[in-house]
Amino acid sequence: MNKQRAIFVDKGSGGWGTGLRIEPKGKKTKVVSITGGGIHPVARKIAQVSGTEAIDGFKNSVPEDEMMCVVIDCGGTARIGLYPMKRIPTVDVLPSSPSGPLAKHIKEDIFVSGVTEKEIRLADEQIESHSETSQLNTSNKENSNINNEDLKKEDQGDRDNFLMRFSKGIGKVTGTFYQAGRDSIDMLIKNIIPFMAFVSMLIGIINYTGIGDAMATFLSPLAGSLWGLIILAFVCSLPFLSPVLGPGSVIAQIIGVLIGTEIAKGNIPPQFALPALFAINAQVGADFIPVGLSLGEAKAETVQYGVPAVLYSRLITGVLAVIIAYVASIGLYQ
């Protein structure tokens, strides 16, 4: 008889969770595959590594007090939360995240998703010497060969059934797209909508107080010379101003209209149009830096040091952009 051992199941690519440590205890020695089409390879691998028994949950009724864990292929409906609700370790072969009517029961200590056979291994504290592991593997192979003969006979009809394979493929594709849509909506609610509300508030403050008009009137005369444009870019990219000037590009729009009007009147030479464009946009995106880092799943320390680093770098790159644009515009309008 196989020696029963604790295993660790890590999340797969795009999966959810921190991984599960699953251990046979008492009567809980059965790995129940509830995926359709026979015993799933992940369930079979869990049973082989842990020295337990894999059972097709669609063909056999297994008491819950005998379930060591269940293997499912749910994209995010009721089944995904049914077994976590009963505190039965759940391994989802699809990269699903907590969702559905039972989502509140799906916790990291009871659920992991996106699992393939390569994410299954012996628990660290259960790993012994190489010789014992080799002996275990040899014993497992001998016993698994006997078990696999029965499993192959039992599942051969299902695996050879084209309709079964086709339906499972459709289910996998549907689950993947469903999860992608759910992740998109989750990102929209947690990151993009709050950012839009924040930007709307800043735009309202700028418009209501008249700060934008005042600064535009003050800065627009600088657009008549190269040094003036450099000063304009420097002011717009100051770290304590750029996050306030960035939302909605209010300042850039107002100054752009004023400069365009002066160029049309002939008060500002047309060759200053290109460098002026870079000068008035030196602050663009400065308000989005923390949001962009969070969307990239940056750590708190990265955001803490990354935001000021980018803001201060704009002081240099903003001025350089104006100079490069001025050089590129020489002779452009003659």
CB of 59 closer than 8 Å to CB of 21: no
Torsion of CA 49, 50, 55, 57, to 10 degrees: -110
CA atoms within 13 A on the CB side of 45: 16
Host H or E run for residue 54 = strand 53-56
Active site residues: 74
Distance CA 233, CA 215 (A): 13
Which residues are CB-contacts of 84 (< 8 A; sequence separation ≥ 6)?
90, 102, 105, 106, 107, 110, 111
Alpha carbon distance, N-terminus to C-terminus of the chain: 91
**Sequence-separated contacts (24+) of 238-242 with Cβ below 8 Å:** 238/315, 239/308, 239/311, 239/312, 239/314, 239/315, 241/283, 242/282, 242/283, 242/286, 242/287, 242/311, 242/314
d(CA 319, CA 325): 10
Inter-CA distances, 99 with 27, 81, 174, 191, Å: 30, 8, 15, 19
